[in-house]
Amino acid sequence: MIRTENLRSGYIQDDVEEYIYKLLPERDAVISEIEEYAAEHRVPIIGPAVARMLALFVQVSGAKRIFEMGSAIGYSTIWLARAAGPKAKVIYTDGDPDKARRAKEYFRRAGVAKRIDVRVGNALELVKKASGKFDLIFNDVDKHQYPDALRAALPKLRRGGLLITDNTLWSGKAARPAAPDDIHTQGVQEFNRLVYASKELYPVLIPLRDGVTVCRKL
């Protein structure tokens, strides 16, 4: 297993992480290529362990309308679209047109392009403007935006729907006092505080890879 920043948690023992990743089945050619590109070009992706969990939540919830906030080169988008099936609608969002163009090519090669609506711009503004409500919203924007992302996403999530957020342990830094200028750690910490204090959500923070918080809207 090639250890990259996309796979390291920063708080789990190395041998335990190696064990988790060695258990995983090999990925297909497109997914493997994205993993290699992300490692070489230091593009953050969720990695295969979290991706499998994300796909499982899609499958067990039956989610068909999915909004992804912060999609980068489309790694997690493909997992979401495949798990949701041919009748799904997955909205990809990212602020970088170059990443969106690369993602589109991956979607075509992965056979899921017809299920994915690619939108370039600010994910928080795009989710507010999106029509209807969603079965599942996946949040992976810049970490200092997390509290605002929660406020933007929650009204667009149907009752019983899932809000899933990556990097909620933030290499373990979320568990320690944040420096005054560390806006990213502060953003993650405030997000975690807000979801656990919310009367609208039932959250669970799962310490897989960099931490994933799964919330069901009540």
Q: Are 193 and 187 in contact (CB under 8 A)?
A: no
Tell me the C-alpha distance between 48 and 35, whole Å: 9
Could you tell me if 189 and 202 are in contact, meaning their C-beta atoms sit under 8 angstroms apart?
no
pLDDT at position 157: 98
List residues bridging with 17 in a β-sheet.
none
C-alpha dihedral, 99 to 125 to 44 to 92, nearest 10°:
-60
CA 147 to CA 212: how far, in whole Å?
Answer: 15
* pTM (2 d.p.): 0.96
Distance CA 197, CA 217 (A): 13
Residue pointed to by tokens 């507010």: 128
| Residue 2 confidence (pLDDT) | 45
Q: What is the pLDDT at residue 3?
A: 57
Binned average pLDDT, 10 residues per bin, the chain of 218 residues: 68 90 96 96 95 98 98 98 98 98 98 98 98 98 98 98 98 96 98 98 97 98
Delimit the domains of the chain by residue range: 14-217
Contacts for 82-86 with beta carbons within 8 Å, 24 or more apart? 82/55, 82/110, 82/112, 83/54, 83/55, 83/56, 83/58, 83/59, 84/58, 84/115, 86/114, 86/115
Sign of the C-alpha dihedral computed for residues 152, 190, 159 and 74 taken in this order = positive
pLDDT at 38: 95
**Spelled out in words, what is the top-level CATH class assigned to the domain 14-217?**
alpha beta
